[in-house]
Chain A
Amino acid sequence: MSNKMHVKLNVNGEDHEFLAEPRELLIYALREKLNITGPHVGCETSHCGACTVTMNGKSVKSCTVFVAQANGAEVTTVEGLGSPDALHVLQENFKEHHGLQCGFCTPGMITRAAKLLEENPNPTEEDVRFGIAGNICRCTGYQNIVKSILSAASELNASKEAAQ
């Protein structure tokens, strides 16, 4: 089965090159070839959002993107959002407001929320609920996730104002 192709990806600012079958899904390339295991596989049908990453500036479900389609793309996963010494404001707020329980949806949820706040820095509760409707959480009932995202939005805005 040597129909492998040469794939280039920039993931979280780092360049990667590898061989992959075109049919391989982006999520498996990230998880199994690059050992980036933050994004998870929950359904493989685009419903649950556990695999959400940002690809070329858009939120995508990496379980339904072929690695061939992602060739040459810039990809951001939860690992690219913050570092242990400098957490992303969303990572801090999810902890502060108990926005997670089992943690399986969390990387996808936070990655989606980060993109959402870029797209709409002043979301209403309704905007947030609609904006994360592609990400399923089985544990929290979303109430504290919504709270975490809204709180992160105000913090981001406050720090932007302070900088101006």
Chain B
Amino acid sequence: MKDEITRDERVANLKGMGCSRKRVEDARFTQGKGNYVDDIKLPGMLHGDFVRSPYAHARVKSINIDAAMALPGVVAVLTAKDLEPLNLHWMPTLAGDKQMVLADGKVLFQGQEVAFVVANDRYIAADAVELVEVDYEELEVIVDPFKSLQSDVVLREDMVAEDGSIPNGAHGPRKHPNHIFTWEAGEEEATNQVIDNAEVVATEEMYYHRTHPCPLETCGSVASMDKVNGKLTLWGTFQAPHVVRTVASLLSGIEEHNIRVVSPDIGGGFGNKVGVYPGYVCSIVASIVTGVPVKWVEDRMENLMSTAFARDYWMKGKISATKEGKITGLHCHVTADHGAFDACADPTKFPAGFMNICTGSYDIPVAYLGVDGVYTNKAPGGVSYRCSFRVTEAVYFIERMIEVLAIELNMDPAELRSINFIKKEQFPYTAALGWEYDSGDYQTAWDKALLAVDYTGLRAEQAQRVEDFKAGKTRKVMGIGLSFFTEIVGAGPVKNCDILGMGMFDSCEIRIHPTGSAVARLGTISQGQGHATTFAQILATEIGLSAESITIEEGDTDTAPYGLGTYGSRSTPVAGAAAAMAGRKIRAKAQMIAAYLLEVHDNDVEFDVDRFVVKGSPEQFKTMKDIAYAAYNQAIPGLEPGLEAVSYYDPPNMTYPFGAYVCVMDIDVDTGVPEIRRFYALDDCGTRINPMVIEGQIHGGLTEALAVALGQEIAYDDMGNVKTGTLMDFFLPTAWEVPNYETDYTVTPSPHHPIGAKGVGESPHVGGVPCFSNAVQDAFRPFGNRHTNMPHDHWRIWQTANDLGMHD
């Protein structure tokens, strides 16, 4: 047989790894044919809506539902009393704590769920919410975690024993009724010794403010209990549908095979849709009670006030170095405000996530991290907003400490980073706080970035600008923001990573059809990342069928293999690896079929793009399409018919993407308005699967970083009122505020990942936040600024300038 097309053309036809394949998802989304949870409409479906607490801390003395029930169209009003017999008035959180589903005697944050109204349509439900009478007795409100640890006011009475003693929490001893855990890594004594005897020490306190992932689609669910067949179907905004099924089974007592959880299209997640919310539970109960489907979709204010927040870390750092700038030790303490219930979404053994990646990209011989979790009268959460678990906090911490140390040393911060990078030859590198970094080439990336932006030229321009400002020639100062980050993603190895006891592996199942197309299902779920496009590319390269002939399905627990879902940039590192491994199983069987068809020994054929060829005789071959057909149409001795494979992949290690970012900013000191002149982002995510998708992820992550650094915040007043509960106050950047970004890359494959990929969706957020913040702070460094807290909104920037006497 002769080929009519060249090998290069065959490679191109596969649309495999490395090409910017256009997305298959876009046809439905651009035509308005996506299917999101609020698009689901079932016969007889009812609508649920919450009565929420206006108070941040209060006893619930009574709830009167009579007037609400009397409204025509209202079917039920559920309170904690109705859920208690089912043992569903509280539910476990992902962090080993428990959380009220509906207020059980008291409320602990503004917006907390008090009662669940079920009615014929959403308008009647909303009317009925107004008619539920709740009698509250206000209690003292605590919004400051430091005051919380000193206060006599006990927030969680359920966390104190009857004799007044404080029982251990899920993460060990607690030292105050409002204390949740202490978590430590590294060696404190050795670190203190080094710091106490160091030539240079820089200390700084910084607050990483509370914010919110705020995906454009809010959270919601539709529950449908089929009482005839005993089957519960639950559609919802779930970043981890399989875990939701297991939790739903454990909570409800319905056997897991009788529960089907479906994540339909998801309108962005960014960590907001990892947790389990009272609305999900209430929609299930309501459907069980009423026997018809019940939909619950929160509005924007409910989303911002009650579903998972991010950050809220008070960080105290000490970093020591030699006079020449070689870092010798790092000490970090965090007071972590977890709100009313500890509902952080972290692997079970990591109550502060991977905060212990806070030594960053630097070779720091000794370090210590201590984190204290604290209850306050704020919403529960603590999710990873577009980052792996608490990695944004860790990277912000170290990248600010580096800048502060540079000030202390009177040294250029770019040079200080170079002096301290973990060197290429040190990988795999074991950091002082325990992680084994898989691969990296930091200096090369850094040099490339500094060269690309003409760093020396920028510093000269900045020096001139300072002179001009002092001479009264301009009112604009110039900042050069630097950041070099290392992420830790792809959670993770089952030996130390689990969520509610479920190991954090992931999975892929492939079926090749007789005519040479395929369906593959994975345990993850896309929320915009483009899995249907990119997973097919991995498989195309691995199994030699065009990506156009491979359908990817995720999110239906009745069909997809069990997996832990999509967050923490784990889809490519874990499920992507499972896809590659399953593909290789297909290929191994295909090799035997090919050898049989070609009448040679198995070892005499080899894989080549889209076929197996007889070694040394490429004109003798069987394409994967030929092989797929043969798998179904003939009896091959010693082989089962069919061509399918499944792989459950337990990653041997995390992956460690890294990058070098530079932001150039002008700031008008009289208005506090920053103007981003340039943003250069170099990312190394290992093997690149789809450059177009990677670039899109970077643009998006940087924009969310811009938001967090420059204004986005969930702010509370002293009464525990949420001050930023609508999009009027909660900053989401528009096209008008966002710059064009320049993207660049280096490629340092992960040595332990089957295709060398590391994950990329969250890197730009992790590296972007300190870069934007450093740009603002760097602009004021020549005028005496050392550190100011984010968010750097116009008012706060103006205040910084004012504090530095720049308006005098």
* Chain A interface residues (CB < 8 Å from chain B): 1, 21, 23-24, 28, 31-32, 35-45, 47-48, 50, 77-79, 82, 84, 87, 90-91, 94-96, 98, 100-107, 110, 128-130, 132-146
Contacts and interface: CB of A to CB of B under 8 A. Distances in A.
Contact of A91 (B30, B41, B215, B699): B30
Nearest to A39: B32
Interface stretch (B266-274, B409-417, B656-664): B266-274
Interface residues of B, number: 58
9 pairs of A and B residues whose beta carbons are closest in the complex = A38-B32, A103-B29, A102-B528, A104-B267, A141-B699, A141-B703, A101-B528, A47-B727, A78-B32
Nearest to B22: A95
Interface stretch (B354-362, B431-439, B479-487, B734-742): B734-742
A143 B693 contact: no
A35 to B, nearest CB: 7
Interface string B21-36: 0110111111111101
B144 interface: no
B726 A107 contact: no
A40 B530 CA distance: 20
Contact of B734 (A50, A103, A136): A136
A44 B304 CA distance: 13
Interface in B679-694: 692-693
Contact of A87 (B31, B34, B73): B31
Contacts of B39: 31, 37
Contacts of A38: 31-33
B309 to A, nearest CB: 16
9 contacts: A32-B41, A79-B32, A87-B30, A95-B30, A102-B216, A104-B36, A104-B268, A142-B699, A143-B741
B696 A140 contact: yes
A106 B30 contact: yes
B783 interface: no
Contact of B32 (A37, A43, A96): A37
Given A101-B528, A103-B267, 17 more contacts: A38-B32, A38-B33, A40-B36, A42-B217, A48-B216, A48-B727, A48-B732, A84-B27, A101-B700, A103-B29, A104-B216, A104-B217, A138-B704, A139-B216, A139-B528, A141-B703, A141-B741
A136 B22 contact: no
Interface of B: 22-23, 25-34, 36, 38-39, 41, 72-73, 122-124, 214-218, 265-268, 270, 297, 299-300, 527-530, 692-693, 695-696, 699-704, 726-728, 732, 734-736, 738, 740-741
A44 B734 contact: no
A94 B703 contact: no
Contacts of A41: 38, 297
A35 B40 CA distance: 10
A32 B297 CA distance: 14
Contacts of B72: 1
A93 to B, nearest CB: 9
Contact of A143 (B215, B699, B726): B699
B216 A42 contact: yes
B22 A79 contact: no
Contact of B530 (A21, A101, A130, A144): A101
A43 B693 contact: no
A110 B34 CA distance: 14
Nearest to A23: B123
Contacts of A133: 734-736
**Which of B27, B300, B726 has most chain A Cβ within 10 Å?**
B300
B732 A138 contact: yes
A142 B270 CA distance: 17
Contacts of A21: 123
